[in-house]
């Protein structure tokens, strides 16, 4: 193992520029053009990290060794960058795998007259490069999961806005399926807005909720309870005939909760309870048409 590491170290130390040029050439062929500036910079940095690890007697068959930490950091950064740019995991790992051919060619030039040593060195180098490629895939997937989770959170926040309809009256139009995470987000946003605006009435509109089951009803009741604990009153609107039948069939108790068929009806009740009176005035006169 030491002999193989020494051979690769010698190759990178004495023929670094040649290996680097061949690696960048492989990347250019794979991309159908010229290697990008990011790839050029990445190849140079990664070769330096590999050489530093070999000089520190890093195990060439174990990329998890502490001496490869700089290399892992570079690959993690590369994977995150490519994931954010929309590249695939295959493209990311291909960047590393393209290093195999230049290293194999260099080792063949050095150990061509020693078949056993050449085979052993090639095997160990192949193992190291494969481990590096697998590391990039794992880092890429972790980054994609983080991006997806962040996007889902942003979508949840956008899909549950807290709207001020009138002085002292807030509304939350719910769209889509309600789950525990989303209910918690709605509850936190609504309670904070109640505090910020001093509102006394909150309308939860479920017109856009496709179905109501026991779990959804429990989430709604928890939100209603939290609103009442804040000293405000809650009205649930959007109770369609199908939803009303489902609630009755499930035996869900909404006693004490004001429910209305439409948001307009809920707003009328909220205005009345808040002490506002709305009357219909005369329609505005239509301005004369221009000559």
pLDDT by residue (tens digit) across 145-155?
888 887 776 66
Q: How confident is the model at residue 199 (pLDDT cuts 50, 70, 90)?
A: very high
**Is 278 contained in some domain?**
no
167 with 68, same domain: the answer is no
Domain count within the chain = 2
187 pLDDT more than 70: yes
Are both 218 and 244 inside the same structural domain? yes
Q: Are 203 and 165 in contact (CB under 8 A)?
A: yes
What is the pTM for the complete model shown? Answer: 0.56
187 in any annotated domain: yes
- Token pair, residue 188, equals 């936190």
Residues 134 and 20 in one domain: yes
pLDDT (tens digit, 9 = 90+) per residue, 27-65?
A: 888 766 665 666 777 888 888 888 888 888 767 777 888
| 119 and 170 inside one domain | no
Same domain for 23 and 107, yes or no, is: yes
Give residue 221's pLDDT: 85
Cα dihedral 14, 20, 23, 24, rounded to 10, equals: -160
Q: pLDDT at position 266, please?
A: 93
Q: What is the pairing mode between strands 258-260 and 201-208?
A: unpaired
Phi, psi of 234 (to 5 degrees): -120, 140
291: confidence class by pLDDT, cuts 50, 70, 90: low
Helix 2-14 / helix 100-111 crossing angle, nearest 10 deg:
100
| Residue 55 included in any domain | yes
Nearest in space to 93 (alpha carbons), one of 32, 41, 24, 139: 139
Res. 180: pLDDT tops 90: no
199 and 110 in one domain? no
Across all residues in the chain, what is the average pLDDT? 83
Asked if 236 contacts 254 with a C-beta cutoff of 8 angstroms, the reply is yes
**120 falls within a domain:** yes
Token duo for residue 285: 């006169």
- Would you say 97 and 125 are in contact if contact means Cβ atoms under 8 Å apart? no
Assess contact for 204 and 259: CB atoms under 8 A: no
Let me know if residue 197 belongs to a domain.
yes
- Determine the Cα–Cα distance for residues 166 and 67; give it in Å rounded to an integer: 63
CATH at residue 127: 1.10.490
- pLDDT-based confidence at residue 289 (cuts at 50, 70, 90): low
Q: What is the CATH number of the domain that holds 216?
A: 3.30.750.24
Determine the pLDDT at residue 194. Answer: 92
pLDDT at position 1 over 60: no
Domain assignment present for residue 279? The answer is no
Over residues 249-288, the pLDDT tens digits come to 888 777 788 999 999 999 999 988 888 877 777 776 666 6
Residues 6+ apart with CB under 8 A from 62: 68, 131
- Domain end, chosen from 145, 179, 207, is at 145
Provide the pLDDT for residue 33: 61
pLDDT (tens digit per residue) in 108-136: 988 888 888 888 888 888 888 898 888 88
- DSSP H or E run through 170: strand 169-175
- Both 167 and 134 in a single domain? no
Query: 62 and 120: one domain?
Result: yes
pLDDT band at 169, cuts 50/70/90? Answer: very high
Give 2: exposed, middle or buried? Use CB within 10 Å, 0-12, 13-18, 19+.
exposed
Residue 23 is assigned to a structural domain of this protein: yes
**pLDDT (tens digit per residue) in 202-231:** 999 988 888 878 887 888 888 888 999 999
Whether 103 and 71 share a structural domain: yes
**Order of all β-strands in the sheet with 201-208:** 163-166, 169-175, 201-208, 233-237, 258-260
Instruction: List Cβ neighbours of 53 (8 Å cut-off, separation of 6 or more).
Output: 65, 67, 68, 70, 71
Residues 133 and 168 in one domain: no
Q: What is the pLDDT of residue 143?
A: 85
| Per-residue confidence (pLDDT) for residue 58, from 0 to 100 | 66
For residues 27 and 134, state if they share a domain: yes
Which pLDDT value is given to residue 157? 59
Per residue in 70-115, pLDDT (tens digit) is 888 888 888 888 787 777 888 878 888 888 999 999 989 888 888 8
| In a shared domain, residues 137 and 219 | no
Q: Is residue 156 part of a domain?
A: no
Which DSSP symbol is given to 100?
H
Give residue 3's pLDDT.
54
Does residue 4 have a pLDDT over 70?
no
Task: Please state, for a pLDDT cut of 90, what percent of the chain lies above it.
Answer: 14
The whole domain housing 54 covers 2-145
């Amino acid at each position: 193992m030491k002999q193989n590491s020494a051979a690769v170290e010698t190759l990178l130390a004495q023929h670094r520029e040649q290996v680097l040029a061949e690696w960048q050439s492989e990347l250019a062929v794979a991309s159908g053009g010229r290697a990008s500036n990011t790839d050029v910079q990445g190849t140079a940095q990664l070769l330096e990290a590999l050489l530093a690890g070999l000089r520190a007697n890093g195990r060439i068959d174990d990329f998890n060794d502490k001496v490869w930490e700089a290399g892992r950091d570079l690959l993690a950064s590369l994977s995150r960058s490519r994931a954010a740019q929309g590249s695939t995991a295959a493209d990311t790992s291909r960047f590393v795998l393209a290093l195999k051919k230049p290293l194999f060619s260099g080792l063949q030039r050095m150990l061509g007259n020693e078949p056993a040593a050449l085979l052993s060195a090639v095997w160990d180098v192949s193992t190291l490069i494969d481990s590096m490629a697998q590391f990039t895939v794992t880092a890429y997937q972790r980054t994609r999961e983080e991006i997806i989770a962040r996007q889902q959170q942003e979508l949840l926040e956008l899909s549950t806005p807290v709207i001020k309809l009138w002085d002292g009256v807030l509304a939350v139009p719910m769209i889509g399926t309600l789950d525990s995470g989303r209910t918690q987000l709605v509850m936190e946003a609504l309670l904070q807005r109640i505090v910020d605006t001093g509102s006394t009435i909150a309308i939860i509109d479920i017109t856009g909720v496709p179905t109501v089951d026991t779990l959804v009803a429990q989430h709604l009741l928890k939100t209603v309870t939290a609103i009442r604990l804040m000293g405000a009153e809650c009205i649930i609107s959007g109770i369609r005939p199908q939803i009303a039948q489902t609630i009755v069939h499930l035996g869900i108790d909404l006693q004490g909760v004001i429910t209305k068929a439409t948001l307009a009806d809920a707003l009328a009740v909220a205005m009345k309870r808040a002490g506002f009176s709305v009357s219909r005035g005369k329609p505005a006169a239509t301005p004369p048409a221009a000559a």
